[in-house]
Structure formats: structure tokens, C-alpha cells
Amino acid sequence: MVVQANAWWLHTAGQPLERRPIELSTPGPGEAIVQVLACGLCHTDLGYADGSVPPKHALPLVLGHEVVGTVVEVGENFAHLLGQPVIVPAVLPCGKCVFCKSGRANACPKQLMPGNDDHGGFATHLKVPAAPLQSLGKLAGGDLRALSVVADAVSTAWQAAKRANLRPGDVALVVGAGGVGSFVAQIAKALGAYVVALDTSDVRLEAAKALGADAGVRVAGRPAKEVKAEAQGLAKGRADSLNWKIFECSGAVAGQSLAWSLLSRCATYVQVGYAAGAVELRLSNLMAFDGTALGTWGCPPEEYPPVLDLIAKGAIQLAPLVEYAPMSQVNDLLAAMAGHKLTKRMVLDPTC
């Protein structure tokens, strides 16, 4: 059965998204149609919308990659998902290639990302591969809208912690305490780390501390050397630098430079955020400190269950960090995001 849906389309980079119909054909084998309950608004969406980051799919394109919804149609072999509330992972791997079979499905070269490789969740419905969909289990009751951010912001944070091999007693230095960084800080605390959040915003620092960060370092208006000294001083008071894990989550060139400056002997640097601009770094620091630098992208579907368990236990809190709005306000919200006026992760309702 063909599904007639509505969506907010990006036709031309730099121009407002337009609400228009979208027609989804009957799902083939291995596919599902999800009725969107909510879709998170990510900084990556802004990059696609303003043209600073080109999506892989040619325009016009329906953006949105943080989706929670209900499976309303399925292809062959996935009848068990019909009617189930699910999270649509932002990274949908093929499940068959050498990357997937090696436990690195998040880096699958055949992966599909909604709102980038194909039409996404700024719509009432979307069609996606069925196998990676994540049933919500014990979280299936109540208001599920906040769970949309698990598809990227929370699961990406979890994958970053996993890549860093974060352990109890480590120090987590989180540069950029909003967005993904707010969840990196919570997850690091849940895993037993001492968490130092660094940010330009006092509001974000206070929010991070309210959700478990042990210390906050204000960046704005201060010399870089002073910020570095304070952050490293806090870290030295808790663990040798061998056990420092530095997470760059700001998505800003200045944040990347700051995070790199924190590298010390045998410390681990993890690049989580994305910034379009180039950064000048002294790579010799990596050699001189015998350090480790890692990239991280998305999260493989098999890592979602432990994330959902932490949410169910209250170790990861979503409600204080999200705010809801109608999808019809998406252009205003993109403008507010561009102007750094959003303080929470926006979750959009496509029905209004």
C-alpha cells in the first residue's frame, strides 16, 4: 500500500524548508515504514539547510535523522515489528560487510543516514531498512518523544565513551557541554569517571553540573592558557594523565583547538563534534605525549540496548535537555540555532 505523507523539504540550500506531500511506496523485503512521533533537530540539519555541509542525496531532500515512531508497514521477515514503537538509528548499516562483521557497523561504507543519504524524519512517515530499528522495551510506555534524541545525540555519546574505553576512575574532559556533550558528560559519570565540563556558556555549565558533572570550566573571555591550566589542574587532582579521556563535542574550531591543547602524557583524545572550518594543530604533541587520538561516528545498532538501560535506570536524563515544538516552526528554529539562541535540543512534532 502506498503511504501518502507530508514532509518539510529542502529544495535549495539557504532557503526555507517547504511543507509538501511525499509518497512512500510499499516496503520491500527488509524495509519498514515508520509513522514519525517526533524528530530531533540537530546541528547537522542546519549544515545541510544552510549549505555549509552538502548532503549525499541530491536536493530536494527531507532532512531529519533523530526519529522515534511506530512501525506501520513492514516487508518480508519483519512482521514482529508491526505496531511496535521504535527508534530509527541515525546510522543504518548493511549488517553484512567486513566493517559490520568486525563490530564497526557505525562505519559501514554502505550505511544509510536518514536526512542525508535518503529522505528523513522531518515528515509524518519515512521508509527505512527494518533490521537496525530498535524496539523500546521497558521504555515503550508514556511520552516517547524525548527518545528521538537517542538516535544521534545520546547514542553518539555512548559510542564515544566506548571508543575511549572509559573506565571508573578516569577523568573525562568534555569540551562543549551542550548537545552531544551534555550526554557524553552524563554517560561518563554513569561509567564512574570524574567529569570536567568546559563551555563558553555558564548556563550550559550549570546544567551539566546539575546532571552530574563534577566541575565546570568557563571558557568565554579567558586566555586559552588559563583555561588549560584550570582544566588540567582539576584532572591532575583526580588521575594520572594516562587515564584522561578528552572529548571534543563543541562543533567549533576554537573548541577543537582547546581540546587538543589538553592532550598530555598517554591521554586519549576523542573527536565527537563536527566543524566545517580547518584547524591548525601541532600533531607532534601526539608523538611527544605518546597519546591516542580517535574519531567516532554515530553508533552501531547493537549498542542501543545498554543506552536504553541507562535511560530506564535514570542514569541518563533526557527531559531536562529537550524542548518540544511543532514541525511547522522548523525554519524559525533553524534560524535560532544559527544564532546560537537555542539552549535545549529541540524535538519536533510533524503533525503540526
Query: How far apart (Å, rounded) are the C-alpha atoms in residues 78 and 219?
Result: 49
**pLDDT value, residue 2:** 77
Q: What is the mean pLDDT of residues 126-141?
A: 93
pLDDT over 70 at 1, yes or no: no
pLDDT at position 283 is 94
Rounded mean pLDDT, 274-291: 93
Q: pTM value?
A: 0.95
What's the mean pLDDT in 76-90? 95
Mean pLDDT of the chain: 96
Query: In this predicted structure, what is the pLDDT of residue 61?
Result: 98
pLDDT at 343: 87
165-189 pLDDT, tens digit each: 999 999 999 999 999 999 999 999 9
E strand residue ranges, the chain: 3-10, 18-24, 31-40, 61-62, 66-74, 85-88, 125-129, 134-135, 171-175, 194-199, 215-218, 244-248, 268-271, 292-295, 322-326, 345-349
Q: Is residue 33 pLDDT above 90, yes or no?
A: yes
> Who contacts 68 (Cβ-Cβ below 8 Å, separation ≥6)?
36, 37, 38, 39, 85, 86, 87, 88, 136, 144, 145, 147, 148, 150, 151
DSSP line for 192-239: T-EEEEEES-HHHHHHHHHTT-SEEEE-TTS-HHHHHHHHHHHHHTTS
Taking residues 311-331, report their average pLDDT: 96
For residue 22, what pLDDT is reported? 95
Residue in 70, 66, 65, 64 with CA at minimum distance from that of residue 86:
70
> For 26-39, what is the mean pLDDT?
96
188-205: per-residue pLDDT in tens?
A: 999 999 999 999 999 999
| CATH code reported for the domain at 155-295 | 3.40.50.720
* Mean pLDDT confidence for 308-330: 96
Residue 154: pLDDT band (50, 70, 90) is: very high
CA 221/CA 200 separation, integer angstroms: 8
Quote the percentage of the chain above a pLDDT of 70. Answer: 100
* pLDDT digits 0-9 by tens, 9-23: 999 999 999 999 999
Domains in the chain: boundaries? 3-151+299-349, 155-295
User: 221, exposed or middle or buried, with CB in 10 Å at 0-12, 13-18, 19+?
Assistant: exposed
Options 3.30.450.20, 3.90.180.10, 1.10.10.10, 2.60.120.340; CATH for 3-151+299-349 is 3.90.180.10
